[in-house]
Amino acid sequence: MHTRQRRFTSILAGILMFSAGLSHSSVAIAEEIKVETVQSVVYDRHVKLGGTVIPFKEVTITAQHPGQINYIAGIEGDAFNAGTLLISTDDDSLRAQRKAAVAQWNQAAYAYQNAISQYNRELWSPTSEKGMPGMGLPNLMDQMFTKQMSDSMGYGDSDVEKRADLTNAMSRVKEAQAMMEAAKAQIDEIDVRLYDTKSTAPFDGVIVEKMVEAGDSVQPGQPLLVFAKSNHLSIELNVPVSLMHGIKKGQILKASIANRTAINVRVAQVFPVANGQQHTVKIKLDLPLGAPAAPGMYAEVSVSNAQSQNQAFPTVPASAIIKRGSMPTIFVYDPSTRLVNMKIIRTAKASNNGYLTVLSGLKEGEQFIANPPAKITSGLMLRNGQLVAAKKSDDDE
């Protein structure tokens, strides 16, 4: 009985030793480990400023006269070529006014023609030379003797009467001509108002926002549509005055849209006046064609900081940092012992292109594990790109 118990105990001890051996060998992590060296970077050499992606061109189409919307070309996102009709209002009342103005012009034209005829008749057959109705001989005597005697005795002047009649006829001609011009001006004014009832695309673009629907009544000045040139985009940025002397038109800067990969942008416009309340200057930067952006997106632009203190801090990839509780940690590698040990560090809040600035706990030149596995612990050894448990013989070496 005792012999069987001793055999069972020895078998159990063997199983436990075998399990311990398996547990010890399982510490090895199959993933290939990458080691990098800590680099120092001047943390305040560049400053990131937030801006907004805007269309290269954007116009707001407003109503020019009261009326009812009778046509809308499309909805938000629809693209149109320059000159395409986008929206229009009813013009029935204006067309009626135009007909009335045309009738006035025709009336003035008839009056003008009549005045011209009267003037020509007065010019070639003056009214002042015509006598009173009567027989042929009395009328002839009146023309030959009576008018001549009146002129010589100072009772009249036929030339003055003739000039007065011509002047009167000419005034009627000019009056009719003025009526024609007034009617024509009224027609032109109505034509302009008729033109304003229809709004066309000023350039190739898309409808960004639609404020009205067909059938809505509108008043002058009421916004109807927002139309933008969306295939060319810009970034609108408000730059502090202290950073402006480092920015020039045509300069190339780095920007990121919605935290994506950095792209090059060009300074297209620098506004000449600063904002007196915010003490900033507005600038516009052109995005390259095909940039993954849309109007309204958030953008970050890196601007040179002329007031930099040139203080360098270590930087490491954010992927190399593992949270242990609430504390950020990093695993450093000692090439002399090939051991990996954990260090608690303090980092800045903001990351720059996937890198974090280390404020304390790490020095330039130290080596660290760039891709730490989730089960990594202090005391492991790096051998042939693999993390394995360190044996005592390895430690002695």
Domain CATH number, residue 248:
2.40.30.170
The larger pLDDT score, comparing residue 141 to residue 253, is at: 253
Residues 242 and 202 in one domain: no
**pLDDT above 60 for 16:** no
Cα–Cα distances in angstroms (integers) from residue 160 to residues 116, 128, 151, 174, in the given order: 21, 9, 11, 21
Query: Do 80 and 201 touch, CB atoms closer than 8 A?
Result: yes
> Which of 238, 272, 304 finishes a domain?
304
- 10 in a structural domain: no
Residues 263 and 317 in one domain: no
Per the structure, how many domains does the chain have? 4
Q: Give the span between the Cα atoms of 47 and 43, in whole angstroms.
A: 9
> Which of 224, 240, 268 finishes a domain?
224
What does the pLDDT read at residue 134?
47
Residues 234 and 325 in one domain: no
Give per-residue pLDDT as tens, 133-160: 444 445 555 555 455 555 555 545 556 5
Q: Give the span between the Cα atoms of 244 and 256, in whole angstroms.
A: 20
The larger pLDDT score, comparing residue 358 to residue 15, is at: 358
User: Which domain, by its residues, includes 65?
Assistant: 59-88+197-224
pTM: 0.52
Give per-residue pLDDT as tens, 181-232: 999 999 999 999 899 899 999 999 999 999 999 999 999 999 999 999 878 8
> Which of 253, 278, 304 finishes a domain?
304
Lowest mean pLDDT among 266-275, 308-317, 364-373: 308-317
Q: Give the span between the Cα atoms of 361 and 314, in whole angstroms.
A: 10
- 4 in a structural domain: no
Mean pLDDT of 359-379: 89
For the domain that residue 344 is a member of, what is the CATH number? Answer: 2.40.420.20
Q: Which residues touch 294 (CB under 8 Å, ≥6 apart)?
A: 53, 230, 233
